[in-house]
């Protein structure tokens, strides 16, 4: 009788124990965009894949500061005095998710894969790399063509720095070394399971259940109904304040922000006239937009390079909100009755309300904004087809000025180019400075070149920087991250072997 009662008690206790080991996470998307860490450029993919893959070095959990990078899969590294080579000594005893040992050949395969345009979304970051070599079974050397600012970030737990097994292209999920392994994905959900052989220890959390929910209200409802432990929140101050009032709830607001910019295309009329582009700059009140979002989550910023990035400066010409000046510029350009410009706009709640404010502000300067509001995936497709004259874009990159200037403001990155990236403005004003800074080994001269590039971008009317929108995630107080969350380049909290549900 006693044994039957004990068995019954265990049967009732088991579901609670299992649930306590399963972290339930809500993400904003219809589904995962990719399960390949070397292609994971979409926001919904970055955080989960960062839980499955490690780098040779890492940002300490809770930090996005490149100055704090520390050894991870590499137990040590040496940079040559000229900055042109890195030698990594690998940590022994590390195993991939499939049980195989990590060796130098895996690291070489992985970095070469990250540099391959056919297999990586981040291949451009590795253009300065000339050689990746095995020195012995546990030592790798990487050689660069030229000194690169922030080069150690190429080997961090971010984008192409994620290390995969040399069996990654053999079919199935690429084996990694992170604390969790992606077990399945699709149909608006995904599941990750603990990698018990992770070298930092057996994860306290046994599984992670991911739900992809496009609606902010639905994610919040799932949380309040007890169905989620952690989810992406709304980056709006009133929403943050309301969620902070919930019992047993912690709202995390952290960097880096996704920098919000209006890219002003010079490709077609009427914006092919610099006076009209300048009118757009003067017509928009960026500080009012930041206040609309909320200054706890939105930091106004006047430079095309986001705050906190190496090389960012606000020592630039300013184009203050001035409706009279905007109308005068339109009249000088031959448009006394105003102009009409078109924009493809995402229905995403992080974009549409802002663009509605922009539309109202432009109207006061006789600039009519014709907005085509579409689903977020369609928005991404249409802007890459060069169908938007005014493009609202938000992004976070490795925090060095070159990463933003190169992708958003170099003519190589414009739509229609083989190397197209995000230059929807068709800006070419600072090509020379961007190229020169990339190859400049002297730090002071490099910073000066970046400052000149930012000034030229603004003077050419290529964009109107708006604000840096910080990350907002909500977690139950019973979810202990195991560190203080101040930043995460992968745009979500790091879930480590020490993270636990109490």
Can you give 412-445 as a three-state secondary structure string? HHCCCCCCCCCCCCCCCCCHHHHHHHHHCCCHHH
Q: Which domain holds residue 49?
A: 22-179+478-501
**Do 167 and 306 belong to one domain?**
no
Q: How far apart (Å, rounded) are the C-alpha atoms in residues 259 and 350? A: 12
- 189 within some domain: no
**Do 485 and 412 belong to one domain?**
no
In tens, the pLDDT along 116-157 reads: 999 999 998 899 999 999 999 999 999 999 878 789 999 999
Give the pLDDT score at 308.
80
**Do 416 and 490 belong to one domain?**
no
**Do 464 and 379 belong to one domain?**
yes
The answer, yes or no, to whether residue 10 has pLDDT greater than 50, is no
Would you report the helix, strand and coil content of the chain in percent, each value rounded to 5? 30, 25, 45
Give the pLDDT score at 3.
45
How many domains are there within the chain? 2
- 206 within some domain: no
**Do 378 and 264 belong to one domain?**
yes
Q: What does DSSP assign to residue 450? A: H
The answer, yes or no, to whether residue 4 has pLDDT greater than 70, is no
In tens, the pLDDT along 370-409 reads: 999 999 999 999 999 999 999 999 987 888 899 899 999 9
- 194 within some domain: no
The answer, yes or no, to whether residue 295 has pLDDT greater than 70, is yes
Q: How far apart (Å, rounded) are the C-alpha atoms in residues 466 and 468? A: 7
The answer, yes or no, to whether residue 19 has pLDDT greater than 60, is no
Q: How far apart (Å, rounded) are the C-alpha atoms in residues 68 and 461? A: 36
**Do 120 and 165 belong to one domain?**
yes
**Do 48 and 168 belong to one domain?**
yes
CATH number (domain holding residue 369): 3.10.105.10
In tens, the pLDDT along 27-77 reads: 999 999 999 999 998 889 999 999 999 999 999 999 988 879 999 999 999
**Do 161 and 41 belong to one domain?**
yes
**Do 294 and 163 belong to one domain?**
no
| Average pLDDT of the chain, as a whole number | 93
Q: How far apart (Å, rounded) are the C-alpha atoms in residues 346 and 282? A: 24
Confidence band (pLDDT; 50, 70, 90) for 166?
A: very high
**Do 300 and 321 belong to one domain?**
yes
Give the pLDDT score at 43.
86
The answer, yes or no, to whether residue 225 has pLDDT greater than 50, is yes
Give the pLDDT score at 20.
54
**Do 313 and 346 belong to one domain?**
yes
Matching residue, tokens 């922000």 = 257
Q: How far apart (Å, rounded) are the C-alpha atoms in residues 316 and 467? A: 16
The answer, yes or no, to whether residue 170 has pLDDT greater than 90, is no
**Do 427 and 296 belong to one domain?**
yes
CATH number (domain holding residue 98): 3.90.76.10
- 350 within some domain: yes
Give the pLDDT score at 150.
82
The answer, yes or no, to whether residue 83 has pLDDT greater than 90, is no
What average pLDDT does this structure show over 417-434? 96
What average pLDDT does this structure show over 424-436? 97
- 429 within some domain: yes
- 243 within some domain: no
- 463 within some domain: yes
- 85 within some domain: yes
* Cβ partners under 8 Å of residue 195, min gap 6: 97, 177, 178, 179, 180, 181, 203
Q: How far apart (Å, rounded) are the C-alpha atoms in residues 97 and 196? A: 9
Instruction: Return the closest-CA partner of residue 132 out of 152, 151, 149, 107.
Output: 107
């Amino acid at each position: 009788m006693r044994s039957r009662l004990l068995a019954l008690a265990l049967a009732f206790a088991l579901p609670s124990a299992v649930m306590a080991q399963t972290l339930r996470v809500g993400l904003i998307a219809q589904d995962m965009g990719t399960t390949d860490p070397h292609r994971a450029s979409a926001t919904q993919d970055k955080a989960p894949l960062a839980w499955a893959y490690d780098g040779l070095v890492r940002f300490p959990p809770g930090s996005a500061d490149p100055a704090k990078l520390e050894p991870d899969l590499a137990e040590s590294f040496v940079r040559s005095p000229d900055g042109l080579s890195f030698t990594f000594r690998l940590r022994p005893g590390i195993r991939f998710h499939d049980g195989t040992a990590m060796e130098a050949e895996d690291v070489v395969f992985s970095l070469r894969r990250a540099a391959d345009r056919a297999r990586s979304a981040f291949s451009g970051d590795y253009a300065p790399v000339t050689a990746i070599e095995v020195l012995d079974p546990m030592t790798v050397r990487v050689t660069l063509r030229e000194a690169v600012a922030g080069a150690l970030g190429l080997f961090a737990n971010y984008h192409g720095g994620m290390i995969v097994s040399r069996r990654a292209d053999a079919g199935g999920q690429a084996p990694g070394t992170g604390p969790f392994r992606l077990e399945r994905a699709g149909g608006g959900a995904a599941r990750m399971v603990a990698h018990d052989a992770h070298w930092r220890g057996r994860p306290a959390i046994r599984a992670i259940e991911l739900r992809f929910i496009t609606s902010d209200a639905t994610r919040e409802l799932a949380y309040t109904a007890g169905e989620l432990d952690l989810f992406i929140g709304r980056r709006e101050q009133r929403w943050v304040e309301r969620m902070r009032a919930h019992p047993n709830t912690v709202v995390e607001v952290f960097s880096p922000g996704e920098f919000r910019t209006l890219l002003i295309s010079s490709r077609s009329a009427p914006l092919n006239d610099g006076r009209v582009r300048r009118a757009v700059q003067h017509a928009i009140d960026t500080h009012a937009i930041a206040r609309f979002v909320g200054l706890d989550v939105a930091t106004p910023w006047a430079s095309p390079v986001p705050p906190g990035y190496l090389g960012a400066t606000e020592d630039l010409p300013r184009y203050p909100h001035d409706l009279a000046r905007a109308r005068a510029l339109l009249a000088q350009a031959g448009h006394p009755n105003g102009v009409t410009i078109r924009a493809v706009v995402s229905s995403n709640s992080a974009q549409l309300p802002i663009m509605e404010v922009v539309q109202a502000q432009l109207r006061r300067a006789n600039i009519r904004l014709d907005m085509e509001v579409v689903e977020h995936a369609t928005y991404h497709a249409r802007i890459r087809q060069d169908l938007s004259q005014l493009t609202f874009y938000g992004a976070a990159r490795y925090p060095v000025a070159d990463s933003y200037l190169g992708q958003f403001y170099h003519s190589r990155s414009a739509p229609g180019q083989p190397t197209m990236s995000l230059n929807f403005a068709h800006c070419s004003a600072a090509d020379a400075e961007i190229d020169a800074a990339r190859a400049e080994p002297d730090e002071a001269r490099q910073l000066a070149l970046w400052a000149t590039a930012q000034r030229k971008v603004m003077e050419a009317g290529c964009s109107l920087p708006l604000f840096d929108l910080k990350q907002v995630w909500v977690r139950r107080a019973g979810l202990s991250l195991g560190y203080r969350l101040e930043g995460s380049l992968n745009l979500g909290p790091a879930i480590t072997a020490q993270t636990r549900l109490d």
